[in-house]
């Protein structure tokens, strides 16, 4: 059986070795979700590849973006992208700026939670999260 792949791509804004607080929290949740997925999915023949893409100030609108097999997490979850003011990004850029957050139903998540990442991963694979 040829393994199926789950390609996870996470874009986030960095300055030197510093990362925005919200992106940092998403990164922590993403790594936790990937650890759990790496335990759950290999028995089903699925391999996971996580790629981080570091962005500069010119690509702030893409910061904190997660794609699963090329599809945005928001699209997979029927969620929306929102752009709240981000003091952390502002201190890194020296300008007032907005970060990327996710609206799922009536809830706003400035950092993407583990459950949402896992649900999106399963949806990207055409599977149900149990």
Q: Give the residue-averaged pLDDT of 22-28.
A: 88
Nearest to 117 by CA among 11, 61, 37: 37
Tens of pLDDT, residue by residue over 61-113, are 788 899 999 999 999 999 988 776 666 665 666 676 667 778 898 998 888 99
Instruction: Tell me the pLDDT band of 1, cut-offs 50, 70 and 90.
Output: very low
Tell me the residue length of the chain: 130
Beta strand 101-104 with 107-109: parallel, antiparallel or unpaired?
antiparallel
Domains of the chain: 4-124 (3.40.30)
Give the confidence band of 2 by pLDDT, cuts at 50, 70, 90.
very low
Q: What's the pLDDT at 88?
A: 61
- Global model pTM greater than 0.85: yes
Considering only CA atoms, which of 81, 69, 76 is closest in space to residue 9? Answer: 69
């Amino acid at each position: 059986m040829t393994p199926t792949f789950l390609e996870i791509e996470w874009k986030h804004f960095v300055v030197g070795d510093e990362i925005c607080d919200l992106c940092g929290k998403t990164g922590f949740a993403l790594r936790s979700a990937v650890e759990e997925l790496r335990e759950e999915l290999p028995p089903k023949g699925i391999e996971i590849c996580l790629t981080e893409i570091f962005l500069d100030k010119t690509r702030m609108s893409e910061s904190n973006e997660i794609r699963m097999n090329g599809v945005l997490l928001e699209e997979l979850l029927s969620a929306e992208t929102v752009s709240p003011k981000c003091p952390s990004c502002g201190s890194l850029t020296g300008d007032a700026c907005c970060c990327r957050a996710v609206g799922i139903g009536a809830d706003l998540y400035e950092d993407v939670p583990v459950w949402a990442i896992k649900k999106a991963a399963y949806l990207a694979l055409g599977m149900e999260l149990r």
